[in-house]
């Protein structure tokens, strides 16, 4: 299941396209005139790039689209998918600033020599068949701004070398086979977008999660993550635009502080173990366009303030135990209220399911947003031993 693309993500992809367009436009202007000798284009940066790119070519075992067919000779700036620009510390020298081999269906591994691309700003290899792990040498790419290796067959633990990249803003490693713990430090980094969904990570949402400055966070389809939504989630109000946690093993209530996220456009908490009620404060999230809380254990009434949000286009709350919804909710362009306990609405749960749920102990959450265990029943009254009456 691939997550929906929200408006902030669409803008981000447009920005990525603009980066490559700028590189593509700048590159011909930086080329020497045809009469210039070939030696004029040589410099140590391009020589190192030649070593790195040739190592990558040798590590590619299948290139069905012949993307690297012209990767011959020292003129790396003419290689398909390689973009050159003036070096950031010496505008008189050209250097490799971007590599884009997206959707190439390339198979192979990623060699350590890629660390020689010391001026690389954009590294896009999504939708290929690369396997193995990310090279440790990537930690030396101190100018890297975007890394997208999604939709491959990469494996191993979370690539902690990404934590060493001071300029990185866009991290996309989704749809791979990475596993194990995700370091809490990734949420402390000043990045703009984090996509780690559809891997095999096992971790609990750390306290640092709400310290993230990212505008887009996608932790979807990581059912062994778990954890709770803390009340400090409101601290992300200044930057967060999209939060997608569907099928991430969260067992939690929704804290009322979530209403502070006034820039959030997409919130997807579906396919978890979220219980309690929908906070009335969600009605304060004036930018919200898509809200999905389907397939949880939520109950009570849908707050009318949510359905009155001015930009709400899609509200999905199916497969819960809600018992009522205001008529205003039916005016949202797209809703899904199936399989609840709402009288008079089609395709609801059987009455016995709803009654059984209502007789369960009321859910309470602790200060960390975690579902608190039910209170133990009171002890039975003491039994006093009385002496037998005399006869």
Are the C-beta atoms of residues 320 and 343 closer than 8 Å to each other?
A: no
Are the C-beta atoms of residues 171 and 195 closer than 8 Å to each other?
A: yes
Residue-level pLDDT at 21: 47
Low-confidence ranges of the chain (pLDDT < 70): 1-41, 374-378, 382-391
Give the integer Cα–Cα distance in Å for 385 and 202.
55
Domains in the chain with CATH codes: 44-372 (3.80.10.10)
C-alpha 152: how far from chain center: 16
Task: Assign 210 to helix, strand or coil.
Answer: helix
Residue-level pLDDT at 22: 43
Closest CA to 128 of 156, 150, 105: 105
Are the C-beta atoms of residues 211 and 234 closer than 8 Å to each other?
A: no
Residue-level pLDDT at 35: 34
Residue-level pLDDT at 369: 77
Q: Token pair 């929704």 is at which residue?
A: 254
Are the C-beta atoms of residues 112 and 89 closer than 8 Å to each other?
A: no
Neighbour count for residue 147 (Cβ, 10 Å): 23
Residue-level pLDDT at 78: 96
C-alpha 326: how far from chain center: 32
Phi, psi of 259, deg, nearest 5: -65, -10
Give the integer Cα–Cα distance in Å for 179 and 201.
4
Give the integer Cα–Cα distance in Å for 150 and 134.
12
Neighbour count for residue 37 (Cβ, 10 Å): 8
Phi, psi of 267, deg, nearest 5: -135, 115
Sign for the CA dihedral angle at 115, 116, 121, 123 comes to negative
Give the integer Cα–Cα distance in Å for 230 and 361.
22
Output the CA–CA distances (angstroms, integers) from residue 208 to 184, 229, 266, 277, in the order listed: 6, 12, 21, 25
User: In 192-316, which residue ranges form alpha helices assigned H by DSSP?
Assistant: 304-307
> Distance from first CA to last CA of the chain, Å, rounded?
80
Cα-atom radius of gyration of the chain, to the nearest Å?
A: 27
Give the integer Cα–Cα distance in Å for 224 and 198.
11
Are the C-beta atoms of residues 199 and 176 closer than 8 Å to each other?
A: yes
Residue-level pLDDT at 26: 36
Residue-level pLDDT at 383: 64
């Amino acid at each position: 299941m691939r997550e929906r693309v929200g408006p902030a993500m669409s803008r981000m992809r447009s920005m990525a396209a603009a980066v490559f367009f700028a590189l593509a436009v700048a590159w011909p202007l930086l080329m020497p005139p045809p009469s210039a000798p070939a030696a004029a284009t040589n410099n140590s940066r391009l020589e190192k790039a030649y070593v790195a790119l040739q190592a990558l070519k040798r590590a590619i075992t299948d290139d069905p689209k012949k993307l690297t067919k012209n990767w011959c000779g020292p003129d790396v700036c003419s290689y398909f998918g390689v973009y050159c620009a003036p070096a950031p510390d010496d505008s008189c020298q050209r250097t490799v600033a971007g590599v884009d081999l997206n959707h190439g269906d390339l198979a192979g591994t990623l060699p350590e020599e890629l660390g020689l691309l010391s001026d690389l700003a954009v590294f896009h290899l999504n939708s290929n068949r690369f396997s193995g792990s990310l090279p440790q040498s990537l930690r030396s790419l101190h100018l890297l701004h975007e890394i997208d290796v999604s939709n491959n067959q990469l494996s191993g633990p979370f690539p902690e070398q990404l934590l060493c990249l001071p300029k990185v803003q866009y991290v996309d490693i989704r749809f791979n086979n990475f596993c194990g713990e995700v370091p809490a430090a990734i949420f402390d980094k000043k990045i703009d977008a984090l996509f780690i969904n559809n891997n095999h990570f096992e971790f609990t949402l750390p306290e640092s999660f709400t310290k993230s400055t990212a505008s887009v966070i996608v932790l979807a389809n990581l059912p062994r993550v778990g954890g709770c939504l803390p009340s400090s989630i409101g601290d992300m109000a200044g930057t967060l635009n999209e939060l997608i946690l569907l099928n991430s093993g969260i067992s939690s209530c929704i804290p009322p502080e979530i209403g502070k996220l006034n820039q959030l456009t997409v919130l997807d908490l579906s396919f978890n173990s979220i219980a309690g009620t929908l906070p009335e404060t969600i009605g304060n999230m004036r930018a919200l366009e898509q809200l999905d809380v389907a397939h949880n254990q939520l109950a009570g009434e849908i707050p009318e303030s949510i359905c009155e949000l001015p930009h709400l286009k899609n509200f999905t709350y199916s497969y819960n135990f809600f018992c009522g919804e205001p008529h205003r909710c039916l005016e949202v362009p797209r809703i899904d209220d199936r399989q609840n306990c709402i009288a008079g609405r089609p395709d609801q749960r059987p009455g016995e399911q709803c009654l059984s749920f209502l007789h369960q102990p009321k859910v309470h959450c602790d200060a960390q947003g975690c579902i608190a265990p039910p209170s133990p029943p009171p002890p039975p009254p003491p039994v006093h031993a009385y002496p037998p009456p005399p006869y």
